[in-house]
Amino acid sequence: MSQTSKSDAITAAPTGLALPSYLQADKLGPWGIYLQQVDRVVPYLGSLARWADTLRRPKRALIVDVPIQMDNGSIAHFEGYRVQHNTSRGPGKGGVRFHQDVTLSEVMALSAWMSIKNAAVNVPYGGAKGGIRVDPKTLSRGELERMTRRYTSEIGIIIGPTKDIPAPDVNTNEQIMAWMMDTYSMNEGATATGVVTGKPVDLGGSLGRRDATGRGVFTVGVEAANHIGLDTRTARIAVQGFGNVGGVAARLFAESGARIVSVQDHGGTIYREAGLDVPALLAHVAVVGSVAGFVGAEVIANDAFWDVDCDILIPAALEQQITEANAPRIKAKMIIEGANGPTTPAADDILHDRNILVLPDVIANAGGVTVSYFEWVQDFSSFFWSEDEINARLVRIMKEAFAGVWQVAQENTVSLRTATFIVACKRILHARELRGLYP
């Protein structure tokens, strides 16, 4: 996140101590973008608008010090966060991110977007998010485990299977969820599998979780395409990011007949007009770690990715990839946001003016949290479903949610992003109103 000159000045204070990230000024960072999105929705909330300030502030934000002994005997302190944006509809739910640039402001925004996402697909959760300001690649496995366990113990006062349920996000995975589950369980004196989702299947994880986000991207993509007369079975698709989300979405679209004409990842950009061999590309990436060096495709410049002639573009890598600079060049008729926050607000306006349909992250990538919800339900009942059952329920929820959002967009002549916010904010604020204020 960029710092203002004001925060730079404060950081340079004579004590020599770095200013905590949560005091750094936020120009139009993620939290500022989220507040703008709320402002856009308020005129559509009717009488519920009187509760709108509920959306503009997190219910609870915890900053924790995470001290650990490093392998060389020194003591290191990391800054950790857990933010519960809203719990009106149920326990907090959202991932934990380990990244050197994480700030409280970013975690606040991500937690708010989880409130919106969970309400948009109508799973009975509020929104939460957590993070540690660390580059985990600099830690040994032992240091990573000690940091994860101490963080879990520190946030243990606000998380729990009925309070707030963390999950993986950037740089966290099944192993880290297993350590979190174990730490919480040791502190409680009983195994509590339902305290986190995204666990290994052998520890109460769910079948179908790994493919869930990509499957959701595919499902809402097909539904939306039908509305605009685009046949996904013959569509040409460009995908940025070929990991958990982009790789699975590309595979499902290719299996249904679409041509994946271009893929970009951190290693480079490849193109094949006749369509890439997706199973072969997945196998290549599994071995090499990137699309770079894949035979059977042409290498193009990274910037040329935005000029690729295609019908559908799927950003499934990082935040703020579609900007004012490249939005005017995009040829696709439809964009499906697999990543969180891939489109800047200025780019969003350009795409809207160019009549390019944007399926926003808060609905398009909600398949992951939907199957996390299934995992939590299965853990509570200690009864596990087949992968076919999970996929069928996921597809039904995604289709119903998308149909509702599409209808609201048509009725109010607004973008799908604003429509998703309308649906979600009404659900959150209606729950708030029904519960009333305590005391």
Measured torsion, CA atoms of residues 380, 170, 69, 195, in degrees rounded to the nearest 10: -10
Give, for 261, the enclosing helix (H) or strand (E).
strand 259-265
| Nearest position to ligand NAD, beta carbon | 243
CB of 13 to ligand NAD, least distance (A): 34
- Comparing CB distances to ligand NAD, the nearer of 156 and 360 is 360
Measured torsion, CA atoms of residues 218, 222, 225, 226, in degrees rounded to the nearest 10: -170
Please say if 129 is a catalytic residue.
Answer: yes
Q: SS3 for 299?
A: strand
Q: How far is it, in rounded angstroms, from Cα 118 to Cα 373?
A: 10
Distances (CA, A) of 34 to 151, 275, 365, 418: 27, 37, 17, 12
Q: How far is it, in rounded angstroms, from Cα 240 to Cα 269?
A: 9
Q: Torsions phi, psi of 54, nearest 5?
A: -55, -35
CB of 105 to ligand NAD, least distance (A): 17
User: Dihedral of CA 269/274/275/280: which sign?
Assistant: negative
Q: Torsions phi, psi of 106, nearest 5?
A: -65, -45
Q: How far is it, in rounded angstroms, from Cα 143 to Cα 140?
A: 5
CB of 245 to ligand NAD, least distance (A): 4
Q: Which residues pair with 271 in a beta bridge?
A: 262, 298
CB of 23 to ligand NAD, least distance (A): 26
Residue pair 291/267 in contact (Cβ under 8 Å)? The answer is yes
Token pair, residue 77, equals 């302190």
Total number of residues shown for the chain: 439
- Comparing CB distances to ligand NAD, the nearer of 339 and 431 is 339
- Comparing CB distances to ligand NAD, the nearer of 245 and 429 is 245
CB of 163 to ligand NAD, least distance (A): 22
- Comparing CB distances to ligand NAD, the nearer of 172 and 183 is 172
- Comparing CB distances to ligand NAD, the nearer of 127 and 246 is 246
Q: Which of 117, 129, 199, 333 is catalytic?
A: 129
CB of 379 to ligand NAD, least distance (A): 18
Residues that bind ligand NAD (CB under 6 A): 170, 213, 240-246, 264-266, 316-318, 338-340, 365, 368
- Comparing CB distances to ligand NAD, the nearer of 155 and 317 is 317
Catalytic residue numbers? 129
